[in-house]
């Protein structure tokens, strides 16, 4: 999977949701992200960004999880799945 042609979780704007397509990166990072619920087909929402833009907070499967920019860049979003959450 070439993550240069896809939208990544790091690019997801506040209040938007998207479906995960996959994870790019080394095995240890992939395993860690999968254990946190970042799996293909899961819906993730961008919730907050810290004052210096890191870490970013996302909601997935009812849990809020903070990720560094470099980690969020490895999560590829399904094209056409990005939607603004009406509640934000």
**66, two tokens:** 């903070």
pTM score, whole prediction: 0.84
Residue 88 lies in a domain: no
Residue 49 lies in a domain: yes
Burial 3-28 (b: 16+ CB within 10 A, else e): beebbbbbebeeebbbbbbbbbeeee
CA separation, residue 12 to residues 27, 28 (Å): 23, 23
Q: Total domain count for the chain?
A: 1
Residue 75 lies in a domain: yes
Instruction: State the pLDDT confidence band at 81, using cuts at 50, 70 and 90.
Output: confident
- Are 67 and 43 in contact, with CB atoms under 8 Å apart? no
Say which CATH number the domain at 28 has: 2.30.30.90
pLDDT of residue 49: 75
pLDDT of residue 22: 96
pLDDT tens by residue, 9-67: 999 999 999 999 999 989 999 999 999 999 999 999 999 877 777 799 999 999 999 99
User: Can you give the residue range of the structural domain that contains 33?
Assistant: 3-83
pLDDT of residue 48: 83
Residue 71 lies in a domain: yes
């Amino acid at each position: 999977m070439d993550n240069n042609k896809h939208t990544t979780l790091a690019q997801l704007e506040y209040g938007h949701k998207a479906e995960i397509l996959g994870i790019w990166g080394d095995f240890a990072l992939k395993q860690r992200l999968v254990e946190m619920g970042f799996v293909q087909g899961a819906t993730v929402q961008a919730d907050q960004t810290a004052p210096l833009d890191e870490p970013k907070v996302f909601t997935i499967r009812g849990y809020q999880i903070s990720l560094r920019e470099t980690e969020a860049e490895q999560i590829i979003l399904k094209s056409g799945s990005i939607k603004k959450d009406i509640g934000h």
